Copies of this chain bind each other. A is one copy, B any other.
Amino acid sequence: MRITLKTIAEESGFSITTVSRALAGYDDVNEETRRHIIAIAERLGYQPNLSARQLRSQQSHTIGMVIPLTPYFSDPFFMELLSGVGRQAAEHNYDLRLSAQVPGQDELNAYHRMVAGRQVDGVVLARVHHQDPRIAYLQQAQHPFVVFGRSDAEDYPYIDVDSGSGIRLLVEHFADYGHQRIALILSPRDLMFTTLRLRGYREAFESLNLPYREGYIQEGDLSQRGGLEAAERLLQLADPPTAIIACNDLMALGAMTTIQRRGLRPGQDIAVAGFDDIPAALDAEPQLTTIHQPIYQIGRQLTDMLVNLMQGNTPDKPHILLQPELIIRASSGPKR
């Protein structure tokens, strides 16, 4: 049989109200009564029915996330963000509600179910697109949410890494190492940060007076395979690049594989750099030069922001723009 407040009330002889208040720690219940009630609750293994509590108190103590569903491809970026959010959520006694959805209409519906269905108190969003409809919806619904990444408009709480200057750092680094032909493996165009990183690449080229060349920008889908294929296209060029910057580490690792398969040495023959600094970057051979993004930490910080919002506070600092950190490792190769 289910153990409810009623069970404990009958068992103890007190009313449901008193049992509830005793367990909730109100100070208008006698200490002895409270002990008695708590003892019974423990003996019976009472666990409050959380959907009843949720219905009554109008809050779920749950944070919602919709994760993009791409079969056979697990994204370390997202997993790390998820870890950070989950960790800090647990810290604040929140759980996570996940809905795995392929990007598109179903994804939006999932947000609607969560938000209007009162299943979550707040939402964490990542991988922002241009004119992101999810952001539009959440704003209109006036529901607490935080975002990893800026979008076109910036009138919502977000944390972002200054992607543009990250790429700039990498281009400058390779130029400093004597490279002229520096290629870029770009992320998909509909992602917001792609624009920012491309801008950083162009700005650096301009200020350093490097020779700009159309074929040096190849698109990948953020996967290792995508980077591998983009690098193949780069190395088939008449004057292939001597340095390759990828928009994430996974694609950079793929590029290193391509280089090896062609009998060249990553680092020595062709310099490679990534973006993110995922754990695998450190364990690759050669170790990968990259831009450090503290994704896990950002997940935690985002969660703190969100919890703050959910408690009705307006955040003192709704926008955080982190300066990226250049991590030079062996895949940069020697100076030339």
Asked if residues A260 and B285 are in contact (CB atoms below 8 Å), the reply is: yes
Does A76 sit at the interface, judged by CB under 8 A?
yes
**Distance A279 CA – B70 CA, assembled complex (angstroms):** 13
Contact of A49 among B55, B71, B74, B223 (CB under 8 A): B55
Task: Give the complex CA separation of A98 and B87 in angstroms.
Answer: 11
Is A199 at the interface (CB under 8 A from chain B)? no
Asked if B296 and A284 make an inter-chain contact with CB atoms under 8 angstroms apart, the answer reads no
Q: Which of A115-123, A128-136, A235-243 sits within the interface?
A: A115-123
Whether A83 pairs with B100 at a CB distance below 8 angstroms is yes
The interface residues of chain B lying within 8 Å CB-to-CB of A96 are 97-100
Max count, chain B CB within 10 A of own CB: residue among A80, A98, A99, A116: A98
A97 touches B95 (CB 8 A): yes
- The chain B residue sitting closest to A118, CB to CB, is B49
Bound complex: CA of A89 vs CA of B296, how far in Å?
26
Q: Which residues of the other chain, B, contact A48 by a CB distance below 8 angstroms? A: 117
Pairwise interchain contact B72-A116, C-beta atoms closer than 8 A: no
Q: A69-B90, A76-B74, A83-B71 are in contact. Are A51 and B119 (CB under 8 A)?
A: yes
Each complex incorporates copies of this chain amounting to 2
**Closest beta carbon of chain B to A211's beta carbon, Å:** 31
- A225: chain B residues at CB < 8 Å are 279, 283
Contact of A261 among B54, B253, B285 (CB under 8 A): B285
Give residues 89-118 of A contacting B (CB, 8 Å): 89-90, 95-101, 106, 110, 112-113, 116-118
A60 part of interface (Cβ distance < 8 Å): yes
Kindly name the residue among A67, A228, A285 whose own CB sees the greatest number of chain B CB atoms within 10 A.
A285
Chain B, residue nearest A114 (CB): B95
How close is A63's CB to chain B, nearest CB, in angstroms? 10
Residues in B neighbouring A116, C-beta threshold 8 A = 45, 47
List 25 interface pairs A-B (beta carbons < 8 Å), by A numbering.
Answer: A47-B116, A51-B60, A51-B118, A51-B119, A52-B55, A55-B55, A69-B86, A69-B87, A71-B296, A72-B80, A72-B279, A72-B296, A74-B80, A74-B278, A82-B98, A83-B100, A86-B99, A89-B100, A90-B99, A90-B101, A95-B99, A95-B110, A257-B283, A257-B285, A280-B280
Chain A residues proximal to chain B, CB less than 8 Å:
45, 47-52, 54-55, 60, 62, 67, 69-76, 79-80, 82-83, 86-87, 89-90, 95-101, 106, 110, 112-113, 116-119, 223-225, 228, 253-254, 256-257, 260-261, 278-280, 283-285, 296
